Amino acid sequence: MATLSDFSAILFDVDMTLTTSQREVSPNTQAALSGLATKGIKLGVCTGRTYVSLVKPILPYFPDQSLHIVAGGSQIITKEGEVKWQQLLAEQIVREIVALADETGEMYYLANTQQGYGNQTFIETYQNLHSLIPPLRLINELKDWQIPAIVCVNVSQAFLEKLQQRQDITLKTSVSTGNFVSLDITPKGVTKEIGVREWCRLQEVEPHQVIGVGDSDNDIEFLKAVGYAVAMGNSTDQIRSVAHKTIGETDNDGLAVYLDGLVKGASV
């Protein structure tokens, strides 16, 4: 059976994989990440979250100069905030989507590497909701409109249908526990799979040398792109179906137990 020594890197989804349902990284998971780093394993996240969402609550638990796939695969950035690779939405596309969102009354958020921006309703609803929501400014304060991704929450059918007609973006839809549809909008052709490919190139590892861990349907392309896919115990059925292994639930320290086992020589 394969063990950690057969792999060079591990990539993690963030929400409900690295974090608990309270959006926190448990002390045991923090310790497990530290243990992996001492083994020389390359560690990173692969997430739809933007860099500014991760810089305080997540990235401190990763090694210095570690590389991370953020904004749904649109950007690869170091722990310290140096962009190593990116594909940005053009300013005109961003302005058109924001104008449409304002017209149909959507809530939306976008970010560069320094700051998050949203419209008034998004800020009023989500600011300070949990640690993965960064400090936000109003969208009219945004100066550089070339950004890696746009997130729209609880979208209307009319807005969704308008975006589906566009040929210049990639749409990822997800259904929340509240049964409403949210959207991640990235540049055309950009997905977590593309992010994994570029991350591996920068790290000088092959995708088959990477273990990936995730829990939700938007992790499917990511998990299919790596050599060994691990599903959290709280994963969707779709994720379990593509995973090589299912581990414990995040609120039961499932990830920490799994990683600690790898460090101690257990099979993957």
pLDDT averaged per 10 residues, the chain (length 268): 97 98 97 97 98 98 99 99 99 98 98 97 93 95 98 95 98 76 95 98 98 96 98 97 98 99 97
Chain position carrying tokens 């829990």: 215
Answer yes or no: is 268 within a domain: no
Within this chain, do residues 236 and 162 fall inside the same structural domain, yes or no? Answer: no
- The span from the CA of 142 to the CA of 74, in Å, is 19
Cα distance between residue 182 and residue 154, in whole Å:
5
**Which domain covers residue 63, as residue numbers?**
4-86+190-263
My answer on whether 141 and 207 are in the same domain is no
Assess contact for 231 and 246: CB atoms under 8 A.
yes
- Please name the helix (run of DSSP H) or strand (run of DSSP E) that holds residue 186, with its range, or none: strand 181-187
User: Same structural domain for residues 256 and 144?
Assistant: no
- The reported pLDDT for the residue numbered 259 is 99
Question: In angstroms, rounded to a whole number, what is the distance separating the alpha carbons of residues 146 and 205?
Answer: 30
Categorise residue 227: left if φ over 0, alpha if ψ from -120 to 50, beta otherwise. Answer: alpha
Q: Are 185 and 98 in contact (CB under 8 A)?
A: no
Domain end among 138, 158, 187: 187
* 47: nearest Cα among 73, 65, 23, 21: 73
Residues 75 and 10 in one domain: yes
What's the pLDDT at 178?
63
**102 in the same domain as 82:** no
Residue finishing a domain among 165, 187, 209: 187
The owner of tokens 């608990």 is 20
Distance of alpha carbon 14 from alpha carbon 16, whole angstroms? 6
In a domain, residue 28? The reply is yes
d(CA 232, CA 258): 10
Q: How many domains does the chain have?
A: 2
pTM: 0.97
For the segment 148-188, what is each residue's pLDDT rounded down to a tens digit?
999 999 999 999 999 999 999 999 988 765 667 889 999 99
Cα distances from 25 to residues 15, 21, 30, 110, 185, in angstroms, run 10, 10, 7, 24, 26
Helices (H), the chain: 27-38, 51-54, 91-104, 120-126, 157-164, 192-203, 220-225, 237-242, 254-263
pLDDT at 71: 98
CA distance 181 to 103: 18
